[in-house]
Amino acid sequence: MEQLTQPDYQTKKKIAIREHIVEIASDSGEGAQTAGQIFGIISAKMGNGVWTVELIPAEIEPPPRSRAGVSGNRIRLGEKYMTNAGDLADVVIGFNEQVLYSRIDMQAYRPGTQIFLESKWSMDPDPSIREAYAEAVADFKKRGYEVFEVPMESECLKSVVDARRGKNVWVLGLLSMLYQRDMELIKLEIRNKLAKKGEKVIQTNYELLQSGFDWAMENLDFYYDLPCAKRSEAQVVMNGNQALALGAM
């Protein structure tokens, strides 16, 4: 298997943590749930305790950039077993600013929550969207959130024609750098999920994954160090639906 670029964390600030809560939030259909699922699976396979909860839109086919349209995943990961989804998110990936407000209304964030926010809306042709984005960024900072404006769209367009079909894998690369996830394990998971789509699609997703990782390496001066438990017994990684189905059988 082709090797991905080996990371060099020597120049970055290491922040030791025992657990973290990560949220990926987008409009419906942008793949945030899939990105969260893969991030959770890989974290579990690396030895972390993991608990995931899907973020489901409040409406059927909600309009884009609406507060009721948030879709995504919450992943709580730690050095020990996780038994619930936790309270306040530590790191949030937002594909647009509006979907985050539904989570804010649910008091899911705290002062100090880091928000990695798609920045393309600051240059949108529609002045009302540009204004809404600017107002939201200012509001987030006023609430005490740490906002990182990230050019997800423009970075994805270096690899794909439609960024909506690659942004979720790109942010998976960003998170992989931030939490030192095993990129080879992620590649295997991507290959398993996309096996029916052909080698070209798989390689494009590898490129997106590496691009997100590289952007984070070049633009972030810190990373999180989360210990992985060393377990002697065999482990099974599954979600609640799979466990319920096996129990029924």
pLDDT digits (tens, 9 = 90+) for 82-99: 999 999 999 999 999 999
Has residue 6 got a pLDDT over 60?
no
- pLDDT, residue 3, reads 44
Please indicate, yes or no, if residue 234 is contained in any of the structural domains. yes
Higher-confidence residue: 59 or 108? 108
Has residue 208 got a pLDDT over 60?
yes
pTM to 2 decimals? Answer: 0.91
Query: Which residues 6+ apart lie within 8 Å of 137 measured at CB?
Result: 97, 117, 147, 149
For β-strands 222-225 and 19-26, DSSP reports them as unpaired
Please indicate, yes or no, if residue 3 is contained in any of the structural domains. no
Please indicate, yes or no, if residue 7 is contained in any of the structural domains. no
- pLDDT, residue 237, reads 65
Has residue 5 got a pLDDT over 50?
no
Please indicate, yes or no, if residue 6 is contained in any of the structural domains. no
pLDDT in tens, 170-190: 999 999 999 999 999 999 999
Strands (E), the chain: 13-16, 19-26, 49-55, 71-78, 91-94, 114-118, 146-150, 222-225
Split into its structural domains, the chain has a count of: 1
Integer CA distances (angstroms), 163 to 154, 192, 205, in order: 8, 22, 11
Percentage of the chain lying above the pLDDT 90 cut: 82
Please indicate, yes or no, if residue 94 is contained in any of the structural domains. yes
Residue 161's domain spans which residues? 13-248
**Residue 36 maps to which CATH number?**
3.40.920.10
- pLDDT, residue 7, reads 66
Phi/psi class of residue 163: alpha, beta or left (left: φ > 0; alpha: ψ in -120 to 50)?
A: alpha
Average pLDDT over residues 97-113: 97
